[in-house]
Amino acid sequence: MATKRARRWPGLAAAALAFLARLLPAGEVAAQQDQDPAALCAALSIPAELGLVCEPAEGEVASVVVRPRGSGFAALSRLTLRRLDRDSAADALAWSDPAAWLERQMTLDTAGFATALRRLVEDPDSPLAGETMRAAVETLLGAIDRLGKLALAGCESPQLRRDGRHVMSCRFTAGGFGLLLELQLVRNGEERWALALRTMNEQRLRHFQALAGAFRP
């Protein structure tokens, strides 16, 4: 009896969702799907061989983060996907002036980066350990801390690509280290989506760019 009852649950769940879809306006149903982290992760179509995991972003609604799985350098690489809120003062510019909005996001997704990088160069077993590397890291972090005063010195001008996306790329380097940032603003009707790519690895950046390019809201 328990087995038969368990088999009925998937069908019951599907029926319940269909019933709710009839009750709710189509826009509300779409909005709920857009805010579902599982649906957002599925929309990114992440190949298993890339070794990446997608999960909800802390403290954010309709936002997910993609990071390397089980890597000591995982904290240095992030791809975040966030649905923007037109009623938010911080996001409203994405509708009226996409290029200006991108420039205001130049420090996006750098939280925790300094802590993670310092931990790697201070670990005696890390290949990055040593005074030379430590000095290079501190130089790079100093530049990042002064981003607000650099007036986008490490960034290219925002570009409107053929696919309709507004994109801005930034590259900050010091002592052989480089922080690579790319911000993308995606339009879908009246919706706006932001993708932020951050890494110190050229290959991982290409992985993130491929995932971001395949995203279709």
Buried/exposed code over 110-129 (b: 16+ C-beta within 10 A; e: otherwise): beebbeebeebbeeeeeebe
Looking at per-residue confidence, does 171 or 130 come out higher? 171
Q: What percent of the chain has pLDDT over 90?
A: 43
pLDDT band (50, 70, 90) for residue 91: very high
User: Mean pLDDT over all residues of the chain?
Assistant: 78
Q: 37-214 in CATH: which number? A: 3.40.1000
Residues 6+ apart with CB under 8 A from 173: 140, 179
Q: Band of the pLDDT at 35, cuts 50, 70, 90? A: low
Q: Which of 14-23, 38-47, 100-109, 118-127 has the highest mean pLDDT?
A: 38-47
Residue-level pLDDT at 175: 65
The reported pLDDT for the residue numbered 134 is: 79
